[in-house]
């Protein structure tokens, strides 16, 4: 059996079978080990293996003692620490701060296998176990908590995670470039304290005089006590997240400075193709078979990631902070090769569940200048209206979809990643829209207009509702021509900053008029690294520094959510109370415009 036919090392027995006495890197992960390119631990491990390094994985270690952290011995170069594919607090708690009962990234979906603030807990255990070994952070939790940040669960501003974890270096964003360069530096004998030159990394220094060409933002001490300064500091961070024009940012914490180097360049097509060609086993490790497997593999096992990055500018999304605004994609050949591997899988039933990415219908940079000059600092590509320089073209994506659905053994190729309906409407050629409806919708097409109130859409970063209405009308017209009975499932958000009871009622009236009651409503969840979270914490829109109303009480949030599902019997009392508070008794009655009937 070759290494191409193996999972990565998880035990001393695995090391012995390969004749290895010591590993170069050990990855500590808050997720189960799933060897699939949708999981960061597997990607970084495979990339390092491909570069010639010996890698082991300790997945979901018992954090209550040092034992699990020492089971593979001391690595030659460094420990790599990640909380997993999600922030550990989001994994562990609902938006109402109640502990979740399930965890899709754990064996059998059972909760409780990762600690709160996993990155910090794991690092501190490693420091207890090995005092002098380099520790490098990565993954979404570290990436979005690299600056002083508002923490929803503590309801306060926390320090950069580099300080609380006591790690040596932080890799942010998609880390393939950074981790290989870091490995080469460590392997050449350079001490980690001198690795300060790599884009897409953060580190800590005592003296800022050794730095140059930086922007200094308000300190941790200032942003934790002054909300305006927090908003202003965030906006500098947000504007500089560009690999072409971004600058070094520093932020003082006590007597030391957090330093963020500019973002790493996104992987070009050839290198992205290489990553996805690595020998992923495309399944959870067999050690989890006794538990019934790991649920997180189910949605992605027969899905294909086509692209990275997003220029959609949704305020509540952290993609700008993590993957960036410059979209890069894999080649048609690479995507077809992965499809062929999927087709050969014994469990494949003929359905490719998704061909997409952060936004499925973005295939490349928004315009030609992004790769040479970077994304615009003060303008967005799609919002509030598409930029005149935006390249609107679905032809390449459509060509790939056609090639996949023509493969022997493929019955259907679905598109389930988010689609930007405003980008579809900006395309004068309807070919993609028609073939999407004809071949790639599973009866229900999910899109995210988010709301209908113009002022709120402006805060959210979505187009005026007239654009969604045009899309909705065209969707049903196309399906009528195709004689297909398919439906739109629009997603809406409640309690986003700027949302009032009045705006929730306006959305409820819209839902009444289009005869749609959402089965799911997305409550706004303030996670680190987003514009919306900054609005939530500070009460300011950091782009304009204008004040923003924020629904904060549990009762108001429940009323806003209930209004979006006003027909549900269990919501009657909340809807009735909201309408009475607003003096909207005109919406209580038996007439066709009423939301609810009178109280009995």
74 closest CA partner among 46, 99, 49, 54? 54
Contact 308, 357 (CB under 8 A): yes
Contact 286, 7 (CB under 8 A): yes
Q: State the pLDDT at residue 193.
A: 95
Which residues touch 190 (CB under 8 Å, ≥6 apart)? none
Q: Which helix (H) or strand (E) holds 82?
A: strand 78-82
Question: Where residue 166 falls among pLDDT bands split at 50, 70, 90?
Answer: very high
Assess whether pLDDT exceeds 90 at residue 321: no
Arithmetic mean of pLDDT, 317-323: 88
Instruction: Match 């940079």 to its residue by tokens.
Output: 365
Arithmetic mean of pLDDT, 53-62: 98
Q: State the pLDDT at residue 320.
A: 84
Q: State the pLDDT at residue 207.
A: 93
* Phi-psi group of 524: left, alpha or beta (phi > 0 → left; psi -120 to 50 → alpha; rest → beta): beta
Question: Where residue 1 falls among pLDDT bands split at 50, 70, 90?
Answer: very low
Contact 548, 531 (CB under 8 A): no
Mean pLDDT is lowest, of 153-157, 179-183, 219-223, 315-319, for 315-319
Question: Using one digit for the tens of pLDDT, what is the confidence trace for 352-388?
Answer: 999 999 999 999 999 989 988 999 988 899 999 999 9
pLDDT over 70 for what percent of the chain?
Answer: 99
As a whole number of angstroms, the distance between CA 163 and CA 183 comes to: 22
Question: Using one digit for the tens of pLDDT, what is the confidence trace for 71-104?
Answer: 999 999 999 999 999 999 999 999 999 999 999 9
Q: State the pLDDT at residue 184.
A: 98
Contact 290, 140 (CB under 8 A): no
Domains belonging to the chain, first-starting first, are 3-199 (3.40.50.280), 302-442 (3.30.750.210), 445-600 (3.30.750.200)
As a whole number of angstroms, the distance between CA 310 and CA 317 comes to: 10
Helical pair 501-513 and 572-582, crossing angle rounded to 10 deg: 120
239 closest CA partner among 273, 207, 263? 263
Contact 516, 490 (CB under 8 A): yes
List helix spans (H) across 145-207: 161-165, 176-187
List helix spans (H) across 440-464: 454-460
Which residues touch 162 (CB under 8 Å, ≥6 apart)? 137, 146, 170, 202, 203, 204, 258
3-state secondary structure of 34: strand
Residue 458: C-alpha distances to residues 452, 463, 464, 505, 535 (Å): 10, 7, 8, 18, 13
As a whole number of angstroms, the distance between CA 43 and CA 69 comes to: 21
Contact 146, 202 (CB under 8 A): yes
What is the pTM (predicted TM-score) of this model? 0.95
As a whole number of angstroms, the distance between CA 194 and CA 212 comes to: 16
Average confidence score pLDDT of the chain: 95
Q: State the pLDDT at residue 171.
A: 98
Assess whether pLDDT exceeds 90 at residue 451: yes
As a whole number of angstroms, the distance between CA 220 and CA 234 comes to: 12
As a whole number of angstroms, the distance between CA 396 and CA 66 comes to: 51
Question: Using one digit for the tens of pLDDT, what is the confidence trace for 181-230?
Answer: 999 999 999 999 999 999 999 999 999 988 989 999 999 999 999 999 99
Q: State the pLDDT at residue 83.
A: 98
Assess whether pLDDT exceeds 70 at residue 2: no
Question: Where residue 4 falls among pLDDT bands split at 50, 70, 90?
Answer: low
Arithmetic mean of pLDDT, 537-545: 97
Question: Using one digit for the tens of pLDDT, what is the confidence trace for 259-298?
Answer: 999 999 999 999 999 999 999 999 999 999 999 999 999 9
Q: State the pLDDT at residue 600.
A: 76
Q: State the pLDDT at residue 131.
A: 86
How is 345-392 classified by DSSP, letter by letter? STT--SEE-EEE-SSTT--S-SSTTHHHH-S-SS--SSSSS--TT---
Which residues touch 523 (CB under 8 Å, ≥6 apart)? 95, 96, 493, 494, 495, 557, 561
- What is the 8-class DSSP label of residue 193? G
Task: Tell how far CA 573 is from the center of its chain.
Answer: 35
Q: State the pLDDT at residue 371.
A: 84
As a whole number of angstroms, the distance between CA 251 and CA 236 comes to: 11
Count other Cβ atoms within 10 Å, centred on residue 216: 15
228: burial class by Cβ within 10 Å (0-12, 13-18, 19+)?
middle
Assess whether pLDDT exceeds 60 at residue 169: yes
């Amino acid at each position: 059996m070759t290494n191409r036919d193996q999972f990565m090392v998880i035990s001393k027995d695995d090391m012995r079978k390969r004749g290895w006495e010591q590993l170069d890197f050990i990855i500590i992960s808050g997720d189960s080990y799933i060897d699939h390119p949708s999981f960061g631990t597997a990607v970084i491990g495979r990339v390092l293996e491909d570069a010639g390094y010996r890698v082991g994985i300790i997945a979901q270690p018992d954090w209550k003692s040092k034992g699990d952290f020492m089971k593979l011995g001391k690595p030659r170069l460094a420990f790599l620490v990640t909380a997993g594919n999600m922030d550990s607090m989001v994994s562990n708690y609902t938006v109402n701060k109640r502990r979740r009962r399930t965890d899709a990234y754990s064996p059998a979906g059972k909760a409780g296998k990762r600690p709160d603030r996993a990155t910090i807990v794991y690092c501190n255990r490693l420091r207890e176990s090995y005092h002098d070994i380099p520790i490098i952070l990565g993954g979404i939790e570290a990436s979005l908590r690299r600056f002083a940040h508002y923490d929803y669960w503590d309801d306060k501003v926390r320090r950069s995670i580099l300080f609380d974890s006591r790690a040596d270096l932080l890799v942010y964003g998609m880390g393939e470039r950074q981790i290989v360069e870091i490995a080469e530096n460590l392997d050449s004998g350079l001490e980690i304290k001198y690795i300060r030159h790599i884009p897409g990394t953060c580190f800590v220094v005592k003296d800022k005089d050794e730095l140059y060409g930086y922007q200094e933002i308000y300190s941790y001490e200032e942003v934790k006590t002054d909300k305006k300064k927090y908003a202003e500091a965030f906006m500098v961070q947000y504007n500089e997240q560009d690999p072409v024009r971004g600058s070094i940012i520093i932020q003082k914490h006590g007597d030391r400075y957090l330093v963020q180097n500019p973002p790493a360049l996104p992987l070009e097509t050839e290198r992205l193709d290489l990553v996805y060609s690595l020998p992923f086993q495309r399944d959870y490790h067999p050690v989890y078979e006794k538990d019934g497997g790991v649920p997180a593999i189910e949605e992605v096992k027969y899905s294909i990631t086509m692209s990275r990055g997003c220029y959609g500018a949704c305020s509540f999304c952290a993609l700008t902070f993590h993957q960036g605004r410059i979209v890069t994609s894999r080649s048609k050949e690479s995507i077809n090769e992965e499809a062929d591997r999927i087709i050969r899988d014994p469990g494949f039933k003929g359905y490719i569940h998704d061909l997409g990415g952060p936004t499925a219908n973005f295939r490349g940079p928004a315009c030609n200048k992004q790769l040479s000059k970077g994304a615009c600092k003060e303008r967005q590509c799609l919002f509030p209206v598409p930029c005149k320089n935006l390249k609107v073209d679905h032809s390449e994506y459509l060509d790939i979809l056609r090639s996949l659905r023509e493969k022997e053994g493929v019955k259907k190729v679905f598109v389930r990643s988010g689609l930007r309906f405003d980008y579809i409407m900006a395309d004068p050629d309807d070919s993609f829209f028609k073939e999407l409806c004809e071949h790639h919708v599973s009866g229900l097409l999910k899109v995210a207009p988010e709301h209908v109130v113009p002022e709120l859409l402006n805060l959210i970063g979505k187009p005026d509702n007239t654009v969604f209405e045009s899309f909705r009308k065209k969707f049903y017209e196309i399906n009528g021509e195709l004689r297909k009975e398919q439906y739109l499932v629009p997603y809406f958000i409640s309690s986003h900053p700027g949302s009032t009871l009045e705006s929730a009622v306006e959305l409820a009236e819209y839902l009444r008029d289009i005869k749609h009651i959402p089965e799911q409503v997305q409550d706004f969840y303030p996670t680190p690294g987003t514009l919306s979270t900054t609005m939530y914490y500070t009460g300011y829109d950091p782009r304009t520094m204008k004040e923003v109303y924020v629904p904060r009480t549990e009762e108001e949030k429940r009323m806003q959510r209930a209004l979006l599902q006003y027909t549900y019997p269990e919501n009657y009392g909340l809807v009735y109370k909201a309408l009475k508070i607003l003096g909207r008794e005109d919406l209580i009655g038996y007439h066709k415009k009423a939301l609810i009937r009178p109280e009995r």
